[in-house]
Structures are given as structure tokens and as C-alpha cells.
Amino acid sequence: MNKKVLQQIDVFDVISSITALIRAEQRKKCTELRLQLVHFEVLDYLSQSDQYTDTPAATASHFGMTRGTVSQSLIKLEKKGYIEKNKDEADRRVIHVQILPPGYAILKQARTTELFNKANTIIEEVLTDTSAKKQLIYVYSALQKSFHSYPFKAGNINKFEAMNKANIFEVIEYMASLIRQEERRRCTELKLQLVHLQVLEYLSLCNKYSDTPAAIANFLGMTRGTVSQSLIILEKRAYIKKNQDTLDKRVFHVQLLQKGRNILKKAKPTELFNKASAIVSANSSIVAGEELFIEALRALQKSNDSNSFGVCKTCKNFSTKSHSFFCELTQEKLSKNDSEKICQEHDPV
């Protein structure tokens, strides 16, 4: 592994890509179980909470949601028999939320344990440095310290105890959870649904072969119907524009407009990454560079049954001809911009 100090924000871009892949896999599992992703996340949070953090108010603070949104989620989870609410014995105004056995059962089915186990087997063959997980935990700590509201002390202690027993990908998932919280908080402020942010972010990263509704659904792990409804709303707000393919009229390409880029810039947790990067860079003992996260991303991609959605120029089908970029699969020329974006047809070298 390259022993350079972690100083660049690029590493957090890689973490964001890992987050998107984990989120897509999580959404697929939730869809199969007829469980909303937000409901899974609430159950997951409650499974790790204690008497200080198991209240609706603490849950809302953790996720950056409004109390009304959390209240609606808890009502649905209670109707399904996954949780129960109990009044505090000392202060009857305070409500504690407890997960019931059916809730733990659905949570176990929905977790991405299988994906993490496969990926961990792959990465252990590449990373022989036993300090790798310690480096990851430190990066997580930097993210946590940079978070808009520092987590509750009791929950924080439990989290770090859990991480010391976790594998590399479970630690990365903790990072992904923090990023999702910050994204959700920003979306709430901007009156933007989190799923809409994820669609806009994907469109900012994909190339011309991957900007279709079908590719968006595949990447995000959503049903085409859900994606279609999201695109209708985003188009009404003038964040995107749909264009019919010039050769195949059945295909539509989705273009991210400037207004969409502007809202995406406001919603992305750049400030969180900048603060965390500064903290990590200040510690000269941190030697795990961007390569650690890139290897983690590759391992996750190999373990995932879906397309890798890798960067075009890292694909087996990418080549250069007459000083220009070329795709051997489609037999078409590529622009420099397309070569640097992700593609659903990506075949890792």
C-alpha cells in the first residue's frame, strides 16, 4: 500500500461511491422484503440505541429528519409489529422505542451481511496490513467529529466498541451511515427528498451510455416505477430534462440541467468532508491512502451481482485510437468527459 498521508478530499469521493453501492444493495433487499429503506435505517439505529438514544427526538436528531417524518415512520413500524413505544417511568412525557422480535428478524434479513462477508474475503487477500482497520476507524472518527451535531456520548461509546469487533466493511458502513445522515439533513433544509438527491448525484457522474431511467434504477437498486415518479418531479422542478435517443426512439436519456447542478452542490456534504480531511491530514501517523478505499470499492463491486458501474477509462473495452478515446464494445468514439465518468457497461480490467 502507498504510504502517503491522507490529505486529499478524493478519498471521500471514493467513500461516497462506496456509500452509493451499499445503499443500492440495501434498497434491493428492502424492496424484496417490502420494507422502506428509511424504515430499515430507523430499525438499525434503534437496535444500537440505549435508554438515552431510543426516543423519537433522538432518532430525528440522529438522522437529521423532522420529528414529523420520524413519527410517521414509527407509526408504520408499530403497525407492522416491529416496534413498541413505552412511556418513561420517571418522565411520562418521554417515549422510549423498543424493537420487538419480528423487528429484529426483518432487520437481520435486510442487512447486507452477505455482501460484506464476500467483500471482506476478497480484500483480506489484498490488504495484509493489520493496521488497515485502525486507519478506517480514525477516518470515521474524523467524520464524526466534523458532523453537524456530535453524537450522544453513550451511543458514541457503544459505536466504537462495536467497530473494534467489526470487519473493514462494517466500519465503512458506519461511515456511509454518517454521510447519509448529513445528506438527509441537507435535503430536509432544501425541501428535497433524499432519493431525488441520489438521482441527481448519479446523473452528475454517469456517461452517455448510462443516463437512462433503466440505468438509474439499476444503479440505485430501485424499481423503474419509483425512478419514473422521481424523474417526473425533478423534471417539473427544472432540475433535469429527458431527451429521446436519436437512433432508438424507445430510449430516453436524462440530462442534468444547471438548476439541478446548483441544488446538488448545496445538498452534498462537502463541508463535512473538508473538515474531516483537515483532521485526518493533521495526524502524521495516518498512512492509509486513497488506495485502501479504492480496493474496498473494487471488492464490493466484485461481490455485488449488479454491474460495477466503474469509470469508463478503467474498463477492458476502453482504448485509444488516433489520439482519441474509443469504446470497443459500442465501437464509438468517446469524449474525454465520458471517459472520466461511470458506465453501466463497465468491465473491470
Give CA–CA dist 23/28, Å, rounded: 9
CB 162 within 8 A of CB 248: no
- DSSP secondary structure of 148-196: SSPPPHHHHHHHHHHHHHS-HHHHHHHHHHHHHHHHHHHHHHHT--HHH
pLDDT score at 163: 57
pLDDT score at 212: 92
- What is the mean pLDDT for each group of 10 consecutive residues in the chain (349 residues)? 37 69 80 87 88 89 78 93 92 92 93 79 67 69 65 47 65 76 82 87 86 87 83 95 88 94 86 73 57 71 64 81 80 81 75
pLDDT score at 152: 43
Give CA–CA dist 168/107, Å, rounded: 21
- Per-residue buried b or exposed e for 319-341, using 16+ beta carbons within 10 Å of the residue's own CB: eeeeeebbbeeeeeebeeebbeb
pLDDT score at 153: 42
> Given CA atoms 140, 142, 147, 153 in this order, what sign does their dihedral have?
positive
pLDDT score at 162: 59
